[in-house]
């Protein structure tokens, strides 16, 4: 692997940055999107007819944040729905970086491939038509190395992005249902008063 990185020449730096960013975003989002961070300790209470109180809800979870917001005096149905949407948007934080990496890494690999081929064909001798062997090997190594590295970065980034987006969609659905449940709870408590 070290030889492939060495052969990629100046393209190793932007490709390395893409790799670093993809790993950081995937790990950070996997930690932030754990079920315990989003839902309460007991998610079976979510849609029950219990009179909810703070003992049922993990207060530092997203569910707890929405619950506290819904208990404020000025929380209407629309503001509760907006709060749910804000929390869903926070879950998507950083995913645009993965989108950029999945687009840029293969393009950098392609740019390296073209640069390597230009290096190969620019060194053909005008008299003999035969390239210098050293520059031929170096150009082909650059072309193949950058392609391999670019694809090796983009493929896991695409998989990670797809997985994280699916996880966010699942959490968003649960949070939207939770928000509607809280709206119904708020309506029934105002009707009782």
Q: How many angstroms separate the CA atoms of 171 and 178, rounded?
A: 10
Whether 71 is covered by a domain: the verdict is: yes
- Does residue 193 lie in a domain region? no
* pLDDT at position 155: 95
Number of domains the chain is built from: 1
With respect to residue 180, please indicate whether it lies within any of the assigned structural domains: yes
pLDDT tens for the chain, residues 1 to 193: 677 777 777 888 999 999 999 999 999 999 999 887 887 655 545 555 445 555 566 667 888 888 888 887 677 888 889 999 999 999 999 999 999 999 999 999 999 889 888 888 777 766 666 767 777 788 888 888 898 999 999 999 999 999 999 999 999 998 898 888 888 877 776 666 5
Q: Which structural domain range is residue 105 located in?
A: 2-188
Asked if residue 12 lies in contact with residue 150, where contact means CB atoms within 8 angstroms, the answer is: no
Please calculate the CA angle 173-77-71 and round it to the nearest 5 degrees: 95
From CA 43, how far away is CA 67, in angstroms rounded? 13
Interatomic CA distance for residues 82 and 88, integer angstroms: 10
What was the pLDDT predicted at 165?
95
**Per the domain annotation, does 87 fall within a domain?**
yes
Alpha-carbon distances, residue 109 vs 79, 88, 141 (angstroms):
46, 34, 12
What distance in Å separates the CA atoms of residue 111 and residue 133, rounded to the nearest whole number? 22
Report how far residue 180's alpha carbon sits from residue 192's, in angstroms, rounded to the nearest whole number.
18
pLDDT given at position 103 = 95
Residue 193 is given by DSSP the state -
Domain membership flag for residue 27: yes
Please provide residue 34's backbone torsions phi and psi, each rounded to the nearest 5 degrees. -60, 150
């Amino acid at each position: 692997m070290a030889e492939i990185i060495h052969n990629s020449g100046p393209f190793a730096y932007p490709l390395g940055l893409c790799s670093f960013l993809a790993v950081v975003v995937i790990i950070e989002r996997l930690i932030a999107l754990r079920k315990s961070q989003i839902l309460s300790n007991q998610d079976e209470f979510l849609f029950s007819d219990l009179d909810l109180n703070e003992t049922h809800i993990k207060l530092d979870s997203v569910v707890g944040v929405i619950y506290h917001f819904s208990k404020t005096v000025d929380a209407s149905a629309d503001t509760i729905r907006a709060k749910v949407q804000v929390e869903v948007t926070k879950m998507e934080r950083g995913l645009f970086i993965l989108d950029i990496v999945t687009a840029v890494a293969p393009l950098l690999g392609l740019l390296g491939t073209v640069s390597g081929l230009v290096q190969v064909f620019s060194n053909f001798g005008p008299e003999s038509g035969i390239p210098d062997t050293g520059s031929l090997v170096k150009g082909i190594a650059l072309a193949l190395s950058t392609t391999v590295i670019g694809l090796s970065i983009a493929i896991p980034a695409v998989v990670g992005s797809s997985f994280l987006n699916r996880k966010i969609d699942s959490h968003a659905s649960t949070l939207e249902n939770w928000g509607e449940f809280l709206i119904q709870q708020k309506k029934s408590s105002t009707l009782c008063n």
